[in-house]
Structure 1
Amino acid sequence: MLTVDFDRLGLRPGERVLDLGCGAGRHASEMYRRGADVVAFDQDADELARVRDLFVAMAQAGEVPDGAEADVKEGDALALPFADGEFDRIVAAEVLEHVPADILALSELARVLRPGGTIALTVPRWFPELVCWKLSREYHDTPGGHIRIYSDAELVGKAEGAGLVYDGRHYAHALHSPYWWIKCAVGVGNDDHPLVKAYHRLLVWDIVKQPRTTRWAERALNPVLGKSLVAYLHKPPRGDDDAS
């Protein structure tokens, strides 16, 4: 399940890209499949080991173009172990809401992005997230949980404060908002509740089958109920650097 639109990001084969807070590797694997030189970055060593295995399996199955490369790197988002301007494209999906020093994290992302490069930032959207917080303290008040709710203006303003230029946004995963509202209402850890199990089956069916009816429904609902806010920005080019 992808949140970022890679065409809108401007991703091209051969470009060096960073997936910050890669988790299970959903965005990193898609960028690898598209022929990029991918670094999947996270602080969870066990998660990174699984992502590395995924990269190996993709290569062995012939799912990636010749010349595409992928690796994993463990580290801290507040002190990225990369050179200034090292990456052409960056994805930071559902990460910043976990980071106390989000302004420092954004500054680091801006530092390692090349002039003219683009970045996609995704966070839980304000209204669906607020409903979750109202329904359940457990949802956010846990170690490593969500520590803030971003408005569109706050996310963009903080990114612009790091020196990035706002290009646009969209919302994604409207069908997932009710799922999380149900979980928050019955207990975040209560995965055996009949309503949770039934809705989860619906989401899995939708992800696997991608029927037209739910695709149309989600596109229609995203402006109102989209679970994720996706903001696209770029780093201003220097001189005659290519800004594409």
Structure 2
Amino acid sequence: MLTVDFDRLGVRPGDRLLDMGAGGGRHAFEAYRRGADVVAFDQDADEMGRVREWFGAMKEAGEVPEGAEADAKEGDALAMPFADGEFDRVIAAEVLEHIPADIQAIDELVRVLRPGGTLAVSVPRWFPEVVNWKLSEEYHNNPGGHIRIYTEEELRDKVTKAGLVFDGRDYAHGLHSPYWWLKCAVGVRNDDHPLPRAYHKLLVWEIMKNPKALQWVGKVLDPLIGKSLVLYFTKPLAAQGA
């Protein structure tokens, strides 16, 4: 299930795309299917090994256009091993809330994006995230967990101060917020509780089958309680002269 709208980001075949904080690779896989040359980047070496294997399996299965390339690299978001302006599109989905030095990480995202290129950044949305934190200390107080709650204004300000132009916003995963509220209320590790377990089956149905009824519900809930905030930016062409 994607958080970023690839059409809004402007992904085209042949684009060089970076998925920073790629995790399990869901956005990287979609970009590869669309014919982009993809780099999935994350600090988790084991995760990147699995993503690299999936890239190979996708190519063998004929799921990607001829000529598209993909790789997975392990590294530090604060010092990425890429040249200035190397990527046409950059995605940072649900990662900045984990990084203490988020301004430095944003500077790196901007550095590797070419002038005229586009960036999509998603983070947990303020209101659903506040509810989670209020309901459960365990939800966020763990190694590698969420260390801050962004307002839209804060995130937009940090990225525009790094040199990008704000293009617009979106919200995603409205069905997911109530699930996490339930999880936080009964215990985030209490997997046997019947309420979140039943709700999880609904989410699996949404992800696997994407029925029209849940598509409609999602369109209603996303702007109201969507769990993710997605902001889109462009790097000005004038940056090339600088």
Compute the TM-score of the two structures, normalised by the length of structure 2: 0.98
Checking the alignment, whether the CA contact within 8 Å between 2:115 and 2:240 is kept in structure 1 is no
Is there any run of 5+ residues in structure 2 with no aligned partner, and where? Answer: none
Is there any run of 5+ residues in structure 1 with no aligned partner, and where? Answer: none
Name 2:174's counterpart in structure 1. Answer: 174
Distance in 1 between residues matched to 2:232 and 2:216, nearest whole Å: 23
The superposition leaves residues 78-103 of structure 1 with CA deviations (integer Å, 9 ceiling, x where unpaired) of 00110000000000000000000000
Checking the alignment, whether the CA contact within 8 Å between 2:115 and 2:239 is kept in structure 1 is no
The superposition leaves residues 43-86 of structure 1 with CA deviations (integer Å, 9 ceiling, x where unpaired) of 00010011011101100100000000000111000001100000
Kindly report the root-mean-square deviation, in angstroms, between the aligned alpha carbons of the 2 structures: 1.1
Name 2:162's counterpart in structure 1. Answer: 162
Which shifted more, 188-197 or 170-179? 188-197
Distance in 2 between residues matched to 1:240 and 1:171, nearest whole Å: 31
Secondary structure, counterpart of 1:89 in structure 2: strand
Q: Cα 1:99–1:240, aligned 2, differ >3 Å: closer, same or farther? A: closer
The superposition leaves residues 206-236 of structure 1 with CA deviations (integer Å, 9 ceiling, x where unpaired) of 1111111110111011111000000000110
Where do 4+ consecutive residues of structure 1 move more than 4 Å? none
Secondary structure, counterpart of 1:140 in structure 2: coil
The superposition leaves residues 191-214 of structure 1 with CA deviations (integer Å, 9 ceiling, x where unpaired) of 111111101101001111111111
Distance in 2 between residues matched to 1:196 and 1:58, nearest whole Å: 33
Name 2:119's counterpart in structure 1. Answer: 119
Distance in 2 between residues matched to 1:108 and 1:186, nearest whole Å: 39
Aligned-pair identity (%):
71
1:54 is aligned to 2:54:
yes
Please report how far the alpha carbon of residue 238 of structure 1 lies from its aligned counterpart in structure 2 after TM superposition: 2.7
Distance in 2 between residues matched to 1:126 and 1:239, nearest whole Å: 31
Name 2:218's counterpart in structure 1. Answer: 218
Distance in 2 between residues matched to 1:180 and 1:239, nearest whole Å: 41
Compute the TM-score of the two structures, normalised by the length of structure 1: 0.97
